[in-house]
């Protein structure tokens, strides 16, 4: 989000906009965000105005006033989506669309890192439990090997500390992107949503032969591969 200007707050397409109370308008908001639109809120003046670009940068823009309590929310949402669809400026700056798609993939990568960290943390927690059980078994044997018991207990402690570190760090990383505490499953779902949105942005760019777009598509494939691997790990746990 851009820094506030006076009483105005700017929300870019890469962040969540304030939640509208009506679902049809919320759906239109997501369409606008995926198309790279921005929202300007002025304190005390309804939900805000949506622009196809930052309207304070001197460029031609399309804009839509979003009412907080529209008389017909369904029609209000349709009108908003139509304005986004008919915008003549959306592809004027192809680099902006590419940057938006890359930001989405950055978020997907971070969420996948968080999911993988949680999975690894759970594995280390399991290793710790097995080590503690082994230490208990050694203590019940007729001839107790004190050195071996101590080694196994130290190993269990190391696994436990690593599990805590991985889990805590992954939760923090996931919350930075999603804004909420989550699990490996929810973080993976969030990554998948961002990849889908990035793919949609890429598909709407007219020049499909642009080398930068080709590179973006390659990154989409890579992130999708990571999602597949994480889902496989989740299915095996």
Distance CA 66, CA 51 (A): 11
What whole-number percentage of the chain has pLDDT above 70?
A: 88
Q: What is the mean pLDDT of residues 149-154?
A: 90
Q: Is the pLDDT of residue 92 over 50?
A: no
The pLDDT of residue 22: 86
pLDDT class for 158, splitting at 50, 70, 90?
Answer: very high
- pLDDT of 93 reads 54
**Measured distance CA(182)–CA(131) in Å, rounded:** 28
Q: What are the backbone dihedrals phi and psi of residue 48, each rounded to the nearest 5 degrees, phi first?
A: 145, -175
pLDDT digits (tens, 9 = 90+) for 17-54: 999 988 888 888 887 887 788 999 877 657 999 998 75
What interhelical angle do 146-178 and 184-204 show, nearest 10? 40
pLDDT tens, residue by residue, 180-216: 678 899 999 989 988 998 888 788 777 788 888 899 9
| pLDDT value for 3 | 39
The pLDDT score that the predictor gives to residue 67 is 92
Question: What is the residue-averaged pLDDT of the chain?
Answer: 83
Q: Which two tokens stand for residue 82?
A: 């139509």
First to last CA, the chain: 38
Q: Is the model's pLDDT at 124 over the cut of 50? A: yes
Mean pLDDT of 104-122: 91
Label residue 231 by pLDDT band (50, 70, 90).
very high
């Amino acid at each position: 989000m851009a820094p506030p200007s006076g009483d105005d707050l700017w929300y870019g397409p890469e962040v969540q906009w304030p939640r509208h109370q009506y679902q049809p308008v919320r759906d239109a908001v997501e369409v606008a965000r995926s198309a790279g639109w921005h929202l300007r809120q002025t304190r005390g003046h309804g939900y805000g105005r949506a622009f196809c670009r930052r309207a304070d940068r001197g460029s031609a823009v399309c804009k839509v006033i979003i009412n907080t309590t529209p008389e017909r929310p369904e029609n209000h949402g349709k009108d908003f989506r139509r304005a986004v669809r008919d915008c003549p400026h959306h592809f004027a700056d192809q680099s902006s669309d590419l940057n938006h798609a890359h930001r989405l993939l950055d978020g997907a990568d971070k969420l996948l890192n968080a999911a993988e960290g949680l999975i690894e943390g759970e594995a280390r927690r399991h290793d710790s439990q097995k080590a503690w059980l082994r230490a208990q078994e050694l203590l019940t044997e007729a001839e107790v090997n004190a050195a071996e018991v101590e080694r196994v207990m130290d190993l269990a402690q190391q696994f436990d500390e690593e599990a805590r570190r991985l889990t805590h760090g992954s939760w923090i990383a996931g919350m930075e992107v999603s804004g909420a505490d989550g699990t490996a499953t929810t973080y993976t779902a969030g990554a998948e949503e961002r990849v889908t949105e990035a793919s949609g942005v890429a598909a709407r760019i007219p020049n499909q032969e642009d080398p930068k777009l080709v590179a973006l598509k390659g990154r989409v494939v890579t992130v999708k591969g990571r999602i597949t691997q994480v889902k496989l790990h989740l299915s095996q746990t």
